[in-house]
């Protein structure tokens, strides 16, 4: 089968590789759609932290935002999965430790991460092996585009839940990228008053095209009930009753714990979509949240390298997400 393989910093190619065979407890998914995110771009550039800690190494087969159809099932897998449209959890815990037993497999010390950690192959390929326990079935109303947005949507949903806001309360989202915009869409669907803080008018123009009129390029002085930091900058966010950190900066963030204590702030970190996949799929299926406008284009495996290098065609516009369809020639 064809798979996109990053062989080193700035080097990648589409290769013919052996297709996966499902092991016990696993299925093989025919990939319909896969999203490209900042983590994938860091693998391509060589900046990804796991490459320097030994948790990943070249060659890397990326792709952890995906949707597809179950085509094969290994021993011990319910055959009812065959033919079902699915997405799945990126985080594959060992299933034996205390964290996995408590439903926190995304923090398992021995976890694999699909397309990211431990050499588990990713979804920029025609087929993908996945443990059946990690599968998330997709409702009929969730097409491949929406299905590949369930994983980032699950991250955003968990962040909005952590903000713990009631309808009418005020949320400042820092960073109008894919996760920030998904969080804004989810919060707005819950009746929260959403404000967006970005660096450029171009990114905020796109946010305004989605209906967000409260936008800023400098931190506003007004108070907020919660702040959700989906940026990759190291600066401390504006104060709020709850502060949610989901973006990762290249440099350590200088958070003053005295501010947290003196303002009685709850600070929450969010890692992964684990626990948010089903909720995101339901929001899409119901029509409460429609993230399709976030997808600028869908391209082939052969075009993935230019996307990872940060190149954009003018006709793609300002939408932040690019999808890959491995079935395209």
DSSP helix/strand/coil, 318: coil
By the 10 Å C-beta count (0-12 exposed, 13-18 middle, 19+ buried), 56 is classed as: buried
Q: Where are the alpha helices (DSSP H) in 46-97?
A: 49-53
Please indicate, yes or no, if residue 282 is contained in any of the structural domains: no
Shared-domain flag, residues 89 and 217: no
Structure tokens belonging to residue 101: 């037993």
Task: With respect to residue 275, please indicate whether it lies within any of the assigned structural domains.
Answer: no
How far apart, in whole angstroms, are the C-alpha atoms of residue 57 and residue 9? 11
Q: Token pair of 272, please?
A: 């992964």
Burial 67-85 (b: 16+ CB within 10 A, else e): bbebebbbeebeeebeeeb
67/317 Cα distance (integer angstroms): 24
User: Mean of the pLDDT values across residues 216-234?
Assistant: 90
Look at strands 26-36 and 65-73 and give their pairing: antiparallel
Contact 142, 285 (CB under 8 A): yes
pLDDT band at 78 (very low <50, low <70, confident <90, very high): very high
Residues 201, 94 within the same domain: no
**How far does CA 27 lie from the centroid of its chain?**
22
pLDDT digit string (tens) for 160-188?
999 999 999 999 999 999 999 999 999 99
Q: CB burial class (10 A; 0-12, 13-18, 19+) of residue 182?
A: buried
If asked whether residues 165 and 209 sit together in one domain, one would say yes
Q: What is the mean pLDDT of the chain?
A: 96
**Do residues 47 and 175 both lie within one domain?**
no
Q: Are residues 32 and 132 in the same domain?
A: yes
Same domain, 182 and 99: no
Residue 164: inside a domain: yes
Question: Beta partners for 78?
Answer: none
Inside any domain, residue 276: no
Whether residue 281 lies inside any domain: the answer is: no
Kindly state whether residues 178 and 69 are assigned to the same domain.
Answer: no
Q: Domain with 8 in it: what CATH number?
A: 3.90.180.10
79: DSSP letter:
G
Same domain, 100 and 167: no
CA distance 124 to 323: 10
Give the per-residue pLDDT at 206.
96
* Whether residue 144 is found in the same domain as residue 164: no
Number of domains observed in the structure of the chain: 2
Report pLDDT digits (tens) over 115-127.
Answer: 999 999 999 999 9
263-to-86, 89, 304 alpha-carbon distances in Å: 43, 36, 46
- Answer whether residue 236 shows pLDDT above 80: no
Q: Is the pTM of this model over 0.75?
A: yes
Here the CATH number for the domain that contains residue 241 is 3.40.50.720
Q: Note whether 72 and 180 are same-domain residues.
A: no
* Tens-place pLDDT, residues 196-222: 999 989 889 999 999 999 999 998 888
Q: pLDDT value at position 237?
A: 67
Task: Determine, yes or no, domain membership for 283.
Answer: no
Q: Domain range holding 216?
A: 153-269
């Amino acid at each position: 089968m064809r798979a996109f393989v990053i062989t080193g910093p700035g080097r990648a190619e589409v290769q013919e590789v052996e297709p996966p065979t499902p092991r016990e407890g696993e299925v093989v998914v025919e990939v319909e759609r896969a999203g490209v995110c900042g983590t994938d771009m860091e693998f391509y550039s060589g900046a990804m932290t796991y490459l320097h800690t030994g948790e990943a190494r070249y060659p890397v087969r990326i792709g952890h935002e995906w949707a597809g159809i179950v085509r094969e099932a290994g021993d011990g897998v319910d055959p009812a999965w065959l033919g079902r449209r699915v997405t799945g959890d990126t985080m594959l815990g060992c299933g034996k430790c205390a964290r996995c037993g408590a439903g926190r497999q995304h923090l398992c010390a021995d976890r694999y991460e699909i397309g990211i950690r431990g050499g588990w192959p990713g979804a920029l390929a025609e087929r993908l092996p996945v443990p059946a326990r990690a599968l998330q079935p997709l409702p009929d109303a969730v097409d491949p585009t929406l299905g590949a947005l369930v994983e980032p949507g699950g991250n955003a949903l968990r962040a909005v839940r952590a903000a713990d806001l009631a309808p009418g309360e005020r949320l400042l989202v820092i960073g109008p990228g894919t996760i920030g915009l998904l969080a804004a869409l989810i919060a707005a669907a819950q009746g929260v008053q959403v404000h967006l803080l970005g660096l450029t008018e171009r990114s905020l123009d796109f946010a305004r095209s989605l209906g967000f009129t409260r936008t800023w390029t400098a931190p506003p002085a007004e108070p907020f009930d919660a702040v959700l930091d989906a940026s990759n900058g190291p600066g401390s966010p504006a104060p709020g009753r709850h502060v949610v950190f989901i973006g990762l900066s290249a440099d350590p963030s200088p958070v003053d714990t005295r501010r947290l204590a003196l303002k009685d702030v709850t600070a929450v970190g969010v890692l992964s979509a684990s626990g948010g996949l089903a909720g995101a799929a339901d929001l899409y299926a119901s029509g409460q949240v429609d993230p399709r406008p976030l997808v600028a284009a869908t391209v082939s495996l052969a075009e993935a390298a230019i996307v990872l290098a940060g190149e954009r065609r003018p006709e793609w516009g300002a939408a932040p997400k690019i999808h890959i369809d491995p079935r395209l020639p």
